[in-house]
Amino acid sequence: MKSTTTELEIGMPGGDFTLSAAEFDRIRELVREHTGISLSDAKRQLVYGRLSRRLRALHLSGFAEYIALIESGEGDELEEFTNAVTTNLTSFFREPHHFEYLGRELLPKLVAADKGARRLRIWCCAASTGEEPYSISMVLREAHPLLTGWDAKLLATDLDSNVLSTASTGVYTSERFQTMSPARLKNWFKPVGSDGKTYTAVNELRTLITFKQLNLMHDWPMKGPFDAIFCRNVIIYFDKETQRALFERMALLQRPGDHLFLGHSESLYRVCDKYDLIGKTIYRRNHS
């Protein structure tokens, strides 16, 4: 049903601008077109808060001007727009059972089944500020006795260029390590600066990871195959049609037996039949 909320009702209390129903609907269309993300009515205040900063920075008089700018395809602002509407919540070893499965079960199985190629490829498709790919890298480095002589690489991509810059830098403040054991912190990060509250990832972690900006809605330059894909807490922002298209494409980059990890509230039920559920949000590529 089309919204009947008036323009005045959508204006944010104390805000500099008014976001009309028509403008919000057009912004939602642009968000979906450029990022695949489906925004609900409940995201109106979030959109207002994040994009009003861009209006101020650009000295625009209202959202109509900003929409026209995005519709013109202006490259720099289109990147700022996608960065602004992207949510990036992450932590080291978030949903730890995935990393435990990777280290204790999947890697030993891959090594046992190897026929001499000694090649391992993992894709983290929502790298955010880097905690997830660095967590994967730690698991791989801790499996060194298994992976000696292996060509192991981790591709870490994200739509948001700002968070990806943080990820590639690999520098974090101490509060970001609350979900990591002190032993891992000591082994894989070293303090920088004089305050003792800032740490940087060691080179052993960095050398496994390639960070690249990638919009999942656009062409993918990589060919695969990927032994494992971490696509966690991504598809909750997409509608079912977009989800189906996404996993059809991912399935083409994996062989039967390869693994896919989703977020705790995500599922492939009635989305894609090319994967079988084998554990808590852990899927395996089948032969279909």
Give catalytic residues, as residue numbers: 50, 158
Q: Are 25 and 40 in contact (CB under 8 A)?
A: no
Q: How far is CA 236 from the centre of its chain?
A: 11
Q: 106: which DSSP letter?
A: I
Q: How far is CA 125 from CA 191, 220, 230, in A?
A: 28, 11, 6
Sign of CA dihedral 276, 278, 279, 285: negative
Residue 138 CB neighbours (<10 A):
24
Q: Is 62 exposed, middle or buried (0-12, 13-18, 19+ CB in 10 A)?
A: middle
| Burial 172-193, CB ≥16 within 10 A → b, else e | beeebbeebeeeebeebbeeee
210: which 2 tokens?
Answer: 């390639």
Q: State whether residue 15 is helix, strand or coil.
A: coil
- Find where tokens 């080291």 sit: 92
Q: Kindly report the length of the chain.
A: 288
